[in-house]
Amino acid sequence: MPSCVILYDPDVTFIRELEVFQATQVNLLLDIYFMLYEESAEQQAYLSEIQKEKRAFDTLIHQKAHLMMPANVYDLPFHMKMQQNQQMAYSMDTRTGGRAKTTQKPGVKVVVDVREFRSALPSMLHKEGLMVLPITLEIGDYILSPQICVERKSISDLFGSLNSGRLFNQAENMRRFYQTPVLLIEFTQGKAFSLQDASEIGTEITATNIISKLTLLILHFPSLRIVWSRSPHATVELFKVIKKHQDEPDMETAAALGNGTLTESAGSSSTGTDAGQNGGGSGTTSTTRAGPNSEEGRLAASYYNTNAMDVLKKLPGINEHNFRKVLAKVTNLAELSRLSLDEMTEIIGKVCAKKLFTFFNTSL
């Protein structure tokens, strides 16, 4: 057993092997000596390797401290969960009609764009008991509630949409018509769960970097939410969590948004109203059961004044958090300009109301 090691050319890897050897030999005292000149190039190279190793450990500690725990970490393995679901959904009890026995909860609706049926996600949603409503959507891929619209992107679609600018237009349309626009980034199961390696992420924004493009997208659309999943199976569980305590979406209203038409909504019990008769001679006649005073009715009708909405958001005191309150109280910008300071305060608060009132009542 050696008790003394003299290194003419110090190497970090070999030194770590010696440390492991020392740890396995409890009764052996091992001395290590370096033969090199002080402040020489060899010494600096060795110290540089030590610093590189230290930074690697610091990075590992930081990543583990911020590591996200999957939702199913305490759940059953996926293959066992699928077997359990199949056994519960397909009972062979002849007294219940074979497959008639099921534990699926009815009434949980998801409006899905028909073009999404080329992927596996809609069938998985149906298998998990969600009511899939297929229709052609102009805005978004999945409508989870009257307020939540989801645009799903695979990794290849994400890169292509960011390069072509199509994602920018899609985010703009979702922000215009929905309170909570969501961008879902869906990874492929079994592949790397990252857009790029952490070592490739720089401190500066570059036009060719995927992280930089997503950063600019978020800066331009502060209300946009970005979620991600490892696979379509994880997306199903994610949709279930998002839909908790949310209202069910209306298929006809979701289809009407973005194409300039308001169709009949079969999901509402109120009677139809003529938008042309009650619209003050606007010249556009359409029938809706959602009702002009309901949230979905106002949301669909907002298609006809999108330019006015853009002007409204540019006014002092109006922001992403309060512009919908203004839309619910006034019908046009002229009516808004005639409100008193107290009336504006009731809608958007004292500070914002003062800015808006001063803007409308200050002489040019």
pLDDT digits (tens, 9 = 90+) for 171-221: 988 888 888 999 999 888 777 677 766 666 666 666 677 888 888 888 888
Type of residue numbered 358 = T
Q: What are residue 53's phi and psi, to 5 degrees?
A: -65, -40
pLDDT tens string for the chain (364 positions)?
A: 778 888 888 888 888 888 888 888 878 888 888 888 888 888 888 889 889 999 989 888 888 877 766 555 445 555 565 555 555 444 444 554 544 444 444 568 899 999 999 888 999 999 888 899 999 998 899 999 999 999 999 888 888 888 888 898 899 888 888 889 999 998 887 776 777 666 666 666 666 778 888 888 888 888 899 998 888 888 888 898 888 888 898 888 888 886 655 433 433 433 333 333 333 333 333 333 344 444 544 554 444 466 777 788 889 999 877 888 888 888 888 999 999 999 999 999 999 999 999 999 988 7
Where do the domains of the chain lie?
4-62, 106-195+205-243
Instruction: Give the pLDDT score at 107.
Output: 67
Q: What are residue 13's phi and psi, to 5 degrees?
A: -60, -45
Instruction: Give the pLDDT score at 325.
Output: 87
Provide the token pair at 263.
Answer: 């169709």
Instruction: Give the pLDDT score at 327.
Output: 85
Q: Give the residue from 175, 141, 137, 148 showing the smallest Cα distance to 296.
A: 148
Sign of the CA dihedral 94, 95, 97, 99?
Answer: negative
| H or E stretch at 46 | helix 41-65
Q: At what angle do helices 12-24 and 41-65 cross, to 10 degrees?
A: 70
Q: Which residues touch 252 (CB under 8 Å, ≥6 apart)?
A: 263, 264, 265, 266, 267
How many whole angstroms separate alpha carbon 34 and alpha carbon 11? 10
Q: What is the rounded radius of gyration, in angstroms, for the C-alpha atoms of the chain?
A: 30
Chain-centre distance of CA 90, in angstroms?
Answer: 34
How many whole angstroms separate alpha carbon 122 and alpha carbon 225? 21
CA distances (Å), origin 43, targets 6, 9, 38, 146: 15, 9, 7, 66
How many whole angstroms separate alpha carbon 265 and alpha carbon 296? 10
Query: For 97-133, what is each residue's pLDDT tens digit?
Result: 544 444 444 568 899 999 999 888 999 999 888 899 9
How many whole angstroms separate alpha carbon 346 and alpha carbon 325? 10
Going by CATH, does the domain composed of 106-195+205-243 fall within 3.40.50.300? no
| H or E stretch at 219 | helix 210-220
